[in-house]
């Protein structure tokens, strides 16, 4: 889910690492446009770098604190550099001085964001529209100021294109400016242009009508901002959702709205840093191997307790594992570590995987051809888990439906899960994904046209 980074106005202090970059100061929004028409023409004409300058790609990231987002953008930055381009970072304030970024020579700025409204305990998102309203799209004046701030960054840096990673205001700015843009996504934050409800419902249902009203409200605010900003009164939510080319950091089976044919599929991009090489627990009686990735949530120890009693040894990554949990499984067939492990080795050696629904891990597990059990910890992960279950390569665990013992027994003793996972892995050979990633990087710097890639089913 989206999370605001810092207090209102955090975008005003756009930190930088290059001495030749002047800091930007957001002025009060004028009553007319934030960027003059001549500037719009200049922005639209600056599609290719000046002689002697490397093609510049703006990496736009507004919301989300998890390491996975930073990890995948670091991979994209390396791909851009390998193709001769220059990545420029615009990231949440909390990430500007992340060690992985400080060690790079890239320019970096704080992303313009709007203070997020606090979700009520009973908040329910029926569609992506419900996630946009609390992050500024229900406040046209604030949305206009943030859009202007993005336009000023774009005007100053003059990128050949913008890569959007959970950056809806930047997406609006790119649409209004007519700027070439791509959206890196797992699908959840990139709904079809009509922004349908997550649950498939009839158009005349109460939920569908409620969602249509919210989409209309969002479109009215977007149209107001686009008109005041750039004299484009026909903008709408549908228009900004259509604007960027979608680049999926997963495989088609995990697209919550899909699979969509007009897309490029890269598979998971990020990889943990500072991994440790931990051996599997040893046992003369337990011959299977299960890899688990957990967080401190309800149900985690119940699953590990059942794995301890099963015919498998378990290697578990649990970064925030309490001391009492570490002690609980010491000298058992369940080994818990607080550091990330090399997934390519562990997944190759595992017989099954238990996790909480991270798209990247679910995708990596499928590409390794291993069955999995998912205990989702939020709505986005629930959608990922449902996509997995639909493939027949694993299952979702809902504690109210069955106990942990039954869930683990099904995972370990349902051969159809493993067969389904192997069939999916065979569809996406590593060389195909690698070719797509290289094509994506060339497209970012303007050396290739990024279009949909044929899918293997």
Residues 215 and 307 in one domain: no
* DSSP β-bridge partners for residue 110: 91
Residues 89 and 167 in one domain: yes
Task: Compute the radius of gyration of the chain from its Cα atoms.
Answer: 23
**454 falls within a domain:** no
Residues 259 and 313 in one domain: no
Collapsed DSSP state (helix, strand, coil) of residue 157? helix
Residues 174 and 299 in one domain: no
**212 falls within a domain:** yes
Q: How many CA atoms lie within 13 A of 116 on its CB side?
A: 19
pLDDT at 324: 96
Domain of residue 152, residue span: 10-267+435-444
Residues 75 and 25 in one domain: yes
**452 falls within a domain:** no
**273 falls within a domain:** no
**3 falls within a domain:** no
Mean pLDDT of successive 10-residue segments in the chain (457 residues)?
Answer: 33 33 33 41 49 88 79 94 95 90 93 80 82 92 96 95 95 94 94 89 87 95 93 87 93 91 89 86 87 94 96 96 96 95 96 96 98 93 95 96 96 97 96 93 80 50
Element containing residue 323 per DSSP (H, E) = helix 323-328
Collapsed DSSP state (helix, strand, coil) of residue 47? coil
Residues 254 and 351 in one domain: no
Residues 325 and 240 in one domain: no
Residues 253 and 110 in one domain: yes
| Separation CA 68–CA 267 (nearest Å) | 13
In the chain, the number of structural domains is 2
Q: If 0-12 CB within 10 Å is exposed, 13-18 middle and 19+ buried, where does residue 7 land?
A: exposed
Residues 239 and 376 in one domain: no
Q: Are 270 and 209 in contact (CB under 8 A)?
A: no
Q: Are 212 and 127 in contact (CB under 8 A)?
A: no
**134 falls within a domain:** yes
**279 falls within a domain:** no
Element containing residue 436 per DSSP (H, E) = helix 430-444
Q: Are 355 and 374 in contact (CB under 8 A)?
A: yes
**282 falls within a domain:** no
Residues 342 and 423 in one domain: yes
| CATH for 303 | 3.40.50.2000
Q: Are 354 and 375 in contact (CB under 8 A)?
A: yes
pLDDT at 283: 83
Residues 199 and 298 in one domain: no
Residues 160 and 206 in one domain: yes
Q: Are 391 and 214 in contact (CB under 8 A)?
A: no
């Amino acid at each position: 889910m989206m999370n605001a980074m810092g207090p209102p106005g955090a975008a005003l202090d756009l930190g930088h690492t290059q001495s030749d970059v002047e800091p930007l100061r957001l002025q009060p929004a004028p009553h007319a446009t934030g960027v003059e028409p001549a500037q719009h023409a200049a922005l639209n004409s600056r599609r290719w770098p000046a002689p002697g300058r490397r093609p510049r790609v703006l990496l736009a990231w507004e919301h989300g604190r998890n390491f996975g987002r930073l990890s995948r953008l670091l991979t994209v930055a390396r791909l851009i550099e390998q193709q001769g381009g220059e990545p420029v970072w615009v990231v949440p304030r909390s990430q500007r001085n992340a060690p992985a970024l400080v060690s790079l020579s890239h320019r970096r700025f704080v992303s313009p964001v709007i203070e997020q409204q606090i979700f009520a305990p009973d908040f329910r998102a029926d569609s992506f529209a419900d996630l946009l309203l609390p992050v500024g799209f229900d406040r046209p004046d604030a949305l206009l100021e943030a859009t202007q701030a993005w336009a000023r960054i774009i005007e100053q840096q003059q990128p050949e294109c913008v890569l959007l990673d959970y950056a809806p205001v930047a997406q609006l700015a790119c649409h209004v400016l007519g700027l070439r843009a791509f959206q890196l996504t797992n699908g959840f934050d990139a709904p079809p242009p009509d922004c349908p409800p997550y649950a498939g419902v009839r158009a005349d249902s109460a939920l569908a009508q409620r969602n249509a009203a919210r989409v209309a409200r969002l479109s009215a605010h977007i149209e107001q901002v686009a008109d005041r900003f750039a004299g484009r009164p026909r903008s709408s939510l549908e228009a900004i959702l259509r604007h960027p080319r979608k680049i999926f950091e997963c495989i088609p089976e995990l697209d919550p709205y899909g699979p969509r044919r007009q897309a490029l599929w890269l598979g998971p991009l990020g990889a943990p840093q500072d991994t440790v090489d931990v051996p599997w627990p040893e046992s003369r009686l337990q011959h299977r191997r299960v890899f688990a990735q957990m967080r401190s949530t309800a149900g985690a120890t119940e699953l590990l307790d059942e794995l301890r009693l099963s015919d498998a040894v378990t290697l578990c990554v649990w970064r925030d594992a309490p001391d009492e949990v570490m002690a609980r499984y010491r000298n058992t067939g369940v080994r818990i570590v607080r550091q990330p492990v090399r997934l390519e080795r562990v997944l190759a050696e595992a017989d099954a995987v238990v996790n909480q629904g991270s798209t990247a891990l679910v995708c990596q597990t499928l590409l390794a051809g291993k069955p999995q059990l998912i205990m989702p910890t939020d709505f986005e992960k629930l959608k990922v888990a449902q996509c997995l279950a639909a493939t027949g390569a694993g299952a979702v665990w809902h504690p109210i439906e069955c106990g942990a013992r039954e869930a683990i027994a099904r995972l370990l003793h349902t051969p159809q899960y493993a067969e389904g996972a192997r069939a999916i892995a065979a569809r996406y050979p590593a060389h195909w994904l690698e070719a797509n990633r290289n094509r994506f990087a060339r497209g970012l710097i303007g050396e290739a046209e990024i279009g949909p890639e044929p899918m293997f089913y």
